[in-house]
Amino acid sequence: MKIASWNVNSIKVRLPNLLQWLDEFSPDIVMLQETKCVEDAFPRLELEAAGYHCAVVGQKAYNGVALLSRQPIEEVLTVLPGDPEDQQARYLEATIGDLRVASIYLPNGNPAPGEKFNYKLAWMERLQARARELLSLEQPIVLGGDWNVIPEPVDCHDPEAWRDDALFRPESRAAFRTILHLGYTDAYRALNPDTTHAYTFWDYQAGAWQRDNGIRIDHLLLSPQAADRLAEAGIDREPRGRERASDHTPVWCRLRDR
C-alpha cells in the first residue's frame, strides 16, 4: 500500500497537477493539506472520477485538510480533540482498511515568540495526547502531513538562517521529538538516515527551488505496527518543478501487506 502526503497550497489552483500526479504515481491513500476551500467547493467529482473516495475538512481561503483513498473511508474524526473552541481546519482522521490515518496541517507559529507560537505549541500538546491514545489501538497508524517542524539541522539548507523561526525553534523540535518518543517512526529518516538535501518545501522567493534551498517539514509518522510493514519511503520532487507548482512536494511510503 502506497501512502502519500502533500500540502497542495490551494486545491483549486493545483487540481490539474494533483490529477496528473495521482494518475502517474498512483497512491492508495493521500493526505492533503492547505486545500483552502470549504467542503462544498472541494473538487470531489473530479477526484472520484480519478478513482478516489474523499473526506474533507474545509475552511474558506485558509487551512483545510483532506483524505483521498481507493478504499472506503470510515470512522471519520474531523477535529483534533482537546479544544472545543478551536475552529481551524487542520486535522482529519479516519480508518482505511486496517489502517488508522490522519492528515495534519500543524500551525506555522510565526512570529515567535508570540500568540501564534503559543497556539502552535498548545496544538502540538493536543496532538501528542491524541497520538498516545491512538497507540492504544495497537493497529497500524500513520500520522501524515505538513508538520511545520524542521526536526534536525540536516533537514534544512541553512540552519543558522532558520534558528529563530517557529519551524526550527527548540520548543517546536522538542515537541516533535516527544511525539516520536511515544513510539512513532519517521518513515523517511528510518530508511534514509544519512541523506542530505532531502527537502519537501522550497519558498517561492529568491530562487529557492532553483538553488535547492529547502527544508524538510512534511512527515509521515508510523506506529510500531505500521513501521514493521515499512518497505519504502521517499520524497517525490518532480511535482515541485512543474508550472504553477505548490511550494511543497509529496512525501510517501509503502507498507507491505499484512
CATH code at 27?
A: 3.60.10.10
Number of domains in the chain: 1
| Average pLDDT value for the chain | 98
Q: Whole-angstrom Cα distance, residue 92 to residue 33?
A: 10
Q: With 0.75 as the threshold, say if the pTM is over it.
A: yes
Q: Whole-angstrom Cα distance, residue 2 to residue 25?
A: 9
pLDDT-derived band at 192 (thresholds 50, 70, 90) equals: very high
In the chain, pLDDT over 70 holds for what percent of residues?
Answer: 100
The predicted structure's pLDDT at residue 258? 80
Q: Whole-angstrom Cα distance, residue 108 to residue 169?
A: 11
pLDDT-derived band at 254 (thresholds 50, 70, 90) equals: very high
**Structural domain boundaries enclosing 185:** 2-255
The predicted structure's pLDDT at residue 72? 98
pLDDT digits (tens, 9 = 90+) for 107-162: 999 999 999 999 999 999 999 999 999 999 999 999 999 999 999 999 999 999 99
